[in-house]
Amino acid sequence: MEFREIKRLQNLCRLEDQLYTEGCEIVAGVDEVGRGSLAGPLVAAAVILDRKKILIENINDSKKLTEKMRDLIFERILDCCICWATALVSPQEIDRLSITKANILAFKRAACNLKVKPDIVITDFITSTDGLDPVFIPIENGDSNSVSVAAASIVAKVTRDRMMKEASSTYPEYGFDDNKGYGTGRHLSSLKRNGPCEIHRMSFRRVTF
């Protein structure tokens, strides 16, 4: 591993290092994918990285990685983490709750699904952590400032992308294999022509026009 990459990873691990120094035994990261999508679930992932294997080469915010690199790092994360879990909030739940409340619920479900209970959960910034257990620490740009959140962002992204590719075989006209449910030109044109399908979020303005 190049020196520059080692320094970048050490910087990405600063928050975790601080928490371990302060006495935390188990730190998890949680992140979600699909907040702005017009279709499909909101997917969150929680990851507890092994302190001895925390420097995973090229790990970064999932949005800064190619699909091929995400798939590769996804496998590395699963191989060397203590445990990981995913959770989803369905389109119907999103419509009923609102996307912000669905976001918090997804975080909570993912953390609760972990086989090992963390002392602290680091998340990307959310407006409220009331009622969440264990303690959640929201930070700005968490997936760029915490290695644990970056790992969770990759697991969530790969998991959701695969789900949307699978959904494309049932609803091929919307191009979910390519757009993953986001409002691309093809997707919006298909919505106008065919109307929404069962996995669209009916509370989102561009779905119902």
d(CA 117, CA 111): 8
The CA distances from residue 105 to 34, 97, 157, in Å, are 14, 10, 17
Cα dihedral sign, 49-54-57-60: positive
Radius of gyration of the chain (CA): 18
Instruction: Specify the DSSP class assigned to residue 94.
Output: H
d(CA 122, CA 142): 8
- Please name the residues in contact with 48: beta carbons below 8 A apart, sequence gap of 6 or more: 26, 27, 28, 81, 82, 83, 84, 114, 116, 118, 148
Q: What is the pLDDT of residue 133?
A: 62
* pTM greater than 0.85: yes
Q: What is the pLDDT of residue 135?
A: 80
Q: What is the pLDDT of residue 130?
A: 57
Domains by residue range for the chain, with CATH: 3-169 (3.30.420.10)
Cα dihedral sign, 197-202-206-209: positive
Q: What is the pLDDT of residue 209?
A: 65
How many residues does this entry show for the chain? Answer: 209
What is the full per-residue pLDDT of the chain (209 aa) written as tens digits? 888 998 999 999 999 999 999 999 999 999 999 999 999 999 999 999 999 888 899 999 999 999 999 999 999 999 999 999 999 999 999 999 999 999 999 999 999 999 999 999 999 866 555 555 668 888 888 889 999 999 999 999 999 999 999 999 999 999 999 999 999 999 999 999 999 999 999 999 999 86
Q: What is the pLDDT of residue 1?
A: 84
Burial 100-124 (b: 16+ CB within 10 A, else e): eebbbbbbbbbbeebeeebebbbbb
Instruction: Specify the DSSP class assigned to residue 54.
Output: -
- Please name the residues in contact with 102: beta carbons below 8 A apart, sequence gap of 6 or more: 42, 89, 93, 94
